Structure 1
Amino acid sequence: MAYNRQESRMTTASAPPGRMDSQQSTRKMDRFKRYMKTSVADFFGLGEDDPTKAPRWDNRRMRYRGHLGKLKDEYLKQDDELDGMISTADARMIRDPFRVPGGRASDSTSMRTALSSTSTFANSNLKQRRRKDSVMKMTMKGLATLAGAKKKFKAKQSLKGVRSIAPGSFGADIPFDDETNGYMPPTPLTGGDDSSLIDDVFYDELEYEFGDKLDNIKEESTRSRDGSFPTAPTIPDSAPSKGWRRPPPPALPDTPAVDVVDGIDFKALKKIPHQLLDSALQKHKRAVGQGIIGKFFHRSVRSDKVTRDVKKQIDEMDDHRPYFTYWVTFVQIVIFIVSVSVYGIAPIGIDTTDYYETVTMPNLAIQRVAHRERDNLWLGPRQADLIHLGAKYTPCMRFDENLNDALQLDVAEERNSACCVRNDGSGCAQMTKSRCSSILSTFEKWSYADGNPGPDNRTSGTVCGQDPRYCAKPVSVEPFLWPDDITKWPVCEEVNTPNVSLASTEIQHMSCEVVGHPCCHGIQGECIITTREHCDLIRGYYHDDKFLCSQVDCLSQICGMITFYNKGLPDQVYRLWTSLFLHGGLFHLIITIIFQWFIMRDVEKLSGAIRIAFVYLGSGIAGNLASSIFLPYQVEAGPSGSQFGILACLFVEVFQSWQMYKRPFVALLRLLIPVLFLFILGLLPWFDNWAHLFGFIFGLLIAFVFMPYLSFGKFDRKRKIIGIVISLCVTLILYVLLIILLYIIPIRDCEACQYFNCIPFTSDFCENMGVSIKRNSTYSNF
C-alpha cells in the first residue's frame, strides 16, 4: 500500500475551527470510554487481546534488545526465529538518522540493499556490545566536549546538501575529517555504542492509539551511495511503556528528511531469538511466578509452556512502584516513635516486675505499697498504653458479659459503702465497713436498724462530699428525686455547704475533707477510691471531681481513643484496623520492616498498590476479628494477620503459574515448610496464632480475587475466572460469620481455644495471655 502524501500534508490548522473542535472532543470522549472499559477489564484480568497491539509489543521487545550482552554465534545464525514479528505497515515508516535534505526518491530495491547491509552490520556488532556508560561518565564526557561543540556544529551545518551515506554501507571505523568536512557518524555511534543506530533505525514504533498526529510531514528525500530511494514520513516518538521503570534511551535526533519505504522485507532482523528479546524486556521487571522468593529457591520454568501468548501477557503486566509498602511502613515507624515518646517503655523481660513506694493511703496511713507490671519482650509500651493507642482489645469493641459480671461485683460493694470519717478531723474517704477502723474513725452509714435513716428514709449512703439535701445542681426534687441507690447518683456540680463546725457530729460526711477519689486502673475497668499518690503509683487515671466509682466510666477511660457513644456500651470497632499500625516494641517493628521491605515490596511490584492494599487490610482485619472472638481479653498490636496474608500471595502465585514450573510441588513445599514453622512459633505466649491462621486463609481468598495471573489457554482462563468469583463469595460469607460470632452470638468461654495460641508447659507459662476474666471484687483491695 503506497503512502498517501496528500493526507500527510493535512494539519490541524487546515481544518475548519468548529469542525475540528467537535471532532477533537468526540475523539477524546471515545478514547476515555475505551480507556475506562479496558482498565476495569484489565484490573480483573478479563481484558481481551487486541490484535492491533501485537506489533507494538513485538517492537517493544526489539527496542529492549539494546540492554543485551554478548550473543552466541548459534543465535545469530537463526533466520526463522522472528517470522511475522514486524508487519509491513511498520516496515514502511522507518527513521533513518543519516538522511539529509536535498536528495531525490529512488526505487525500493536500493533501500532493501541498504537495510540488508545494516542488518549485517547489526549482527556483526552484537558480539561487541557493551553496557552503556553510567550517568556520571556520560556527564563527564559531555563536559569534556563542550569546548568543541561549536566546531562540531559547523561541521554538521556543512553536511547540508551533501549526499548522505546509507547506514548499512559503512562500518564503525569511518573517520571524520575536520579539515575537509568529510562524513562522520553521529556522536552516539562515535562514543562506542554501536547499537544505538540499530535501535533507532529498526525499532521505532507507531502509537496511533494515543491519538498522536503526523504533523508537519516533510517530503524531502535523500540518496545513498548506491542509489536513490523514496523518503518516509516522520514518525512520532513511541508512548512510554507500562510501569515505573526508566524507559530506554531515546532515539537519535531526527533530521529534516524522512524516508518512505514500500514493501521492505526484514528477514535479517529475524535472526534475533525470542529468548534474548524477552530477557531484555524482563531485565528490570518483577518476574511473574518468580520474584525474590523464586530466585531464592531457584525455581525453574518450562520453556514449552511459556508460549508467545504467555510472553505477551507478561509484557502487558505493569511493573509497579511499591507505594503502599512505603506508606504503611512510614506510618508504622512514626506511630511507634510517637507512642514511645509519650508513654515510654514497659519493663523488659518475659515475667513480671514489682515496684515499691511509700505513699499515703485513704485511711491516712503511710504505707509501703507494691505494684506489679507485666514485662514486655519486644522493648515497647505497656499493655494499658497499647490499649489507649488503639490496639485490638475486645472489651473496648463490644459489650462483654464476662467483664460486666466482674464489674458488677465492684458496684455491689460500693452500694454498701459509706463515708469513713477520721475522729481527729484529718479527713474522710468512701470505703467499706471492713476497711474503716472502728477505733480511729467513724463509719457514718444510713440505716433503719441503727436508728439513723437518711433523708427521705434512705438506707444507701452516706457519700463523702455529696448529699441530695445540699446539692444545688442538679437539685433532688420531684420528679428528679435522687434514687436511694448511691451507685445511681449523679455528680453534684454545685454544693451548698452546710453551716456546721468541724467538731460537730452531725453531717460529718459533708464537713470533712475528702482525701480519696475514684482511680481507674488496670485493663479491665477496675476502680478504687484512693489518694492521688497511690493512683500515680499504679499508673491509674485519677478523678478528683468525682466521689464514687459508679460516677466514672473507667472502661471508656482505659480504652481511650474516641469516647463510647453510649456509656457502658463499647463500640470501638475501628480497632480492627488501627492495631495494624501499632507494634509491641522495637524488635517487633524491626521484624515488620524487614518483612515488608523484602517480601511485601516484591509482591507489590507485581500486583500494584491498590491490590496489595486490599490483601493487606482485608487479611489483617480478618485476623483481628478471629483474635477478638477466640482471645477477647488479650491485647494485640501489629500487622501479623496482614503479613500472613502477604505470605498467602506467594502461594497463590505458585497456584496461578502452576503450568510454568518444572517442579511445581517442590516450589509449593519450599513455601509450606517456613509457614508451618511460623505457626509452630505461634504456640509461644508472645504471638497470636488465631490472627496468623485467619490472616493466611483470607489472604489466599483475597489474593485469588485481586492478584494478576497468567492464563495458559482459554480453558485455563475460564477456570481462573470462576475461581475469582468463588473466592470472592467465600470471603464475604466468612466475614459475615466472623461478625456474627463477635457481636451477635459471642463465644464467652472457650478453654480449648487457648491451646492453639499458647501451650501451657508450666502453670504460669501462658499467664500473660489473659484468656478469661474470673476474679472477685477489687473495690476493697486497697
Structure 2
Amino acid sequence: MFVNDCWRKSHGECAFKSLGRLSFQPLSENPLLGPSCSTLDEMGALRQNFLTNKHQTWRLFTCLWLHAGAIHLTVNLCSVVFIGIHLEQEFGSLRIGIIYILSAFCGSLVATLFLQNRPAVSSSSALFGLLGAMLSGLIRNWKFYINKFAALVALICITMINLVLGLLPYVDNFSNIGGFISGFLIGFVLLFSPQLRQASQKKSSLFDYRVKRSIKLKLKLDRPALRSVCLVLFAIILAGCLVAVLHGVNVNQYCSWCQYIDCVPSKWWSCNDKALPCKTMVTGGRLMLTCTGNDNFRVFPFTNISQTRIEDLCSLICS
C-alpha cells in the first residue's frame, strides 16, 4: 500500500482515509481492501497483455508473492498457518515444503492459460496445494486418524471460503484449482504415512492417529503403484501446462463461461477486462473522462493525474 499511495494518486478518494498513504482504493475499485490495477501491474501481477505481447515471463513467479488486498492476505495467511502447521507436524517440513512450492508454480501456469486483460494474483495457489495434499493425506491414511471427520469438515470449510474469495476481482481462481490438483497428486506421492511419534510425546491435534496400529498399517498403505501413477499424472499436467503457456494458448477462446469461475460481476465491483479508451477533457480545473464504448462519463475535481491512473478510472467508467 506504500507503493500504491492512494491518498496522493487518487486525491483522497480512498477507503480508510485516516491511514494516509497506506489507505486503500475505494471498494468499488478493489473490494478486498487493496491497491489499484496499475499498482498490481507494477508489482508483478499476471495480465494477458504483459505475457503475450511483452513476454514478461517473470510475472509467473512474482504473482505468487502478491495478494489482492488486506482481506485476501488475512484469509490466506490464517489458512496457511492453520493447515500448514498440522501438516508439517504430521509429515515433516521437507515434504510439505516441496508440495507448497510445486503446487504454487503449477497453479501459476494454469492461471496463465485462462488469463484475461486484468491483473491477477496467484498467491493462494500454494495454500490450495496444501489443501489438496491434506485431502490426499486423509484418503491415503484414513485408517490412521481418529478425528478424520473433523479434519474433513475443516478442509471443506477452508476450501470453500477461499474459493468464494477467488470469485472477487484480482484473485485468480484457476491458479487455486491448479494448485489444489497439484497438491492432491503430490500428496499421494509424498504423504503416504505420517511421521511416527511416541504416544507420550503426541499432543491432541486435528490429525490424531492410533500409534499402536501405525507400524502395521504403514506397511499395508504404502503402495508404490499409486505413488507412481500420481507422479506420472503430475508430470504430464506440469509438462502440458508448460508447453501450452510457451505456445500462448488461451483457453478462454474456447470456453466463454470460464470467466465466471474466476470473477463474478456484481453491482459492487467490475470484472470487465476490455480495454476501452476514454476521451479526456480539461475545463476549469476539472477533468472529465468519457468512455467511448458506452458514453458513460465522470468529472473529477483535479487535473494533475498520471496516465496509469487515468487508465484505472477509465476501466471503472466503462464497466
Asked if TM exceeds 0.5, the reply is yes
**Cα distance per residue 1:722-761 (max 9 Å; x no partner):** 2221111111111222233333252263431112223345
Which of 374, 380, 386 in structure 1 is aligned with 2:34?
380
The aligned residue for residue 183 of structure 2 is: 699
What amino acid sits opposite 2:46 in the alignment? K
SS at match of 2:126: helix
Change (3 A) 1:688 1:588: same
Offset, 1:642:
0.9
Change (3 A) 1:723 1:778: farther
2: CA distance between counterparts of 1:374 and 1:682?
17
Offset, 1:700:
0.8
2: CA distance between counterparts of 1:381 and 1:593?
18
The aligned residue for residue 392 of structure 1 is: 46
2: CA distance between counterparts of 1:597 and 1:664?
19
Offset, 1:660:
2.3
Retained in 2: the 8 A contact 1:348–1:376? no
**Regions of 4+ moved over 6 Å:** 776-782
**Structure number, greater radius of gyration:** 1
Gaps of 5+ in 2: 16-25, 195-214, 282-291, 293-306, 308-319
SS at match of 1:658: coil
Which of 217, 226, 238 in structure 2 is aligned with 1:723?
226
The aligned residue for residue 540 of structure 1 is: none
The aligned residue for residue 337 of structure 1 is: none
The answer on 1:641 being equivalent to 2:139 is no
2: CA distance between counterparts of 1:702 and 1:622?
11
Retained in 1: the 8 A contact 2:68–2:170? no
Q: Which has the higher helix share?
A: 2
Change (3 A) 1:662 1:379: closer
Alignment of 1:122-201 (within 5 A): none
2: CA distance between counterparts of 1:756 and 1:384?
23
Retained in 2: the 8 A contact 1:391–1:637? yes
The aligned residue for residue 38 of structure 1 is: none
The answer on 1:751 being equivalent to 2:256 is yes
Retained in 1: the 8 A contact 2:163–2:173? yes
**Cα distance per residue 1:755-780 (max 9 Å; x no partner):** 22233455xx662452x45x469899
Which structure is higher in RCO with an 8 Å CA cutoff and minimum separation 6? 2
Offset, 1:640:
0.9
Retained in 2: the 8 A contact 1:348–1:378? no
2: CA distance between counterparts of 1:576 and 1:689?
15
Gaps of 5+ in 1: 1-339, 350-371, 400-569
Q: Structure 2 length normalisation: TM-score?
A: 0.64
Offset, 1:680:
4.1
Retained in 2: the 8 A contact 1:381–1:585? yes
What amino acid sits opposite 1:759 in the alignment? V
What amino acid sits opposite 1:746 in the alignment? V
**Cα distance per residue 1:601-644 (max 9 Å; x no partner):** 33233334432232222222222222222233231235111111
1: CA distance between counterparts of 2:67 and 2:165?
18
Quote the sequence identity (%): 26
Retained in 2: the 8 A contact 1:701–1:728? yes
Offset, 1:343:
3.5
1: CA distance between counterparts of 2:4 and 2:117?
21
Change (3 A) 1:743 1:638: closer
Alignment of 1:134-533 (within 5 A): 340-345=1-6, 348=14, 375-399=29-53
2: CA distance between counterparts of 1:627 and 1:593?
21
Change (3 A) 1:596 1:573: same
What amino acid sits opposite 2:48 in the alignment? T
What amino acid sits opposite 2:116 in the alignment? P
The answer on 1:622 being equivalent to 2:125 is no
Offset, 1:684:
3.8
SS at match of 1:620: helix
Which of 734, 742, 746 in structure 1 is aligned with 2:237?
734
What amino acid sits opposite 1:704 in the alignment? F
**Cα distance per residue 1:637-696 (max 9 Å; x no partner):** 351111111122221221222122468567535533542454345334464322221111
1: CA distance between counterparts of 2:70 and 2:153?
32
Change (3 A) 1:731 1:641: same
Change (3 A) 1:729 1:769: farther
Q: Structure 1 length normalisation: TM-score?
A: 0.28
2: CA distance between counterparts of 1:761 and 1:376?
12
What amino acid sits opposite 1:389 in the alignment? M
**Cα distance per residue 1:445-473 (max 9 Å; x no partner):** xxxxxxxxxxxxxxxxxxxxxxxxxxxxx
SS at match of 1:342: coil
The answer on 1:602 being equivalent to 2:86 is yes
2: CA distance between counterparts of 1:669 and 1:594?
17
Change (3 A) 1:678 1:589: closer
Change (3 A) 1:680 1:615: same
What amino acid sits opposite 1:593 in the alignment? L
2: CA distance between counterparts of 1:621 and 1:578?
11
Offset, 1:383:
1.5
The answer on 1:574 being equivalent to 2:58 is yes
Change (3 A) 1:734 1:593: same
2: CA distance between counterparts of 1:638 and 1:604?
22
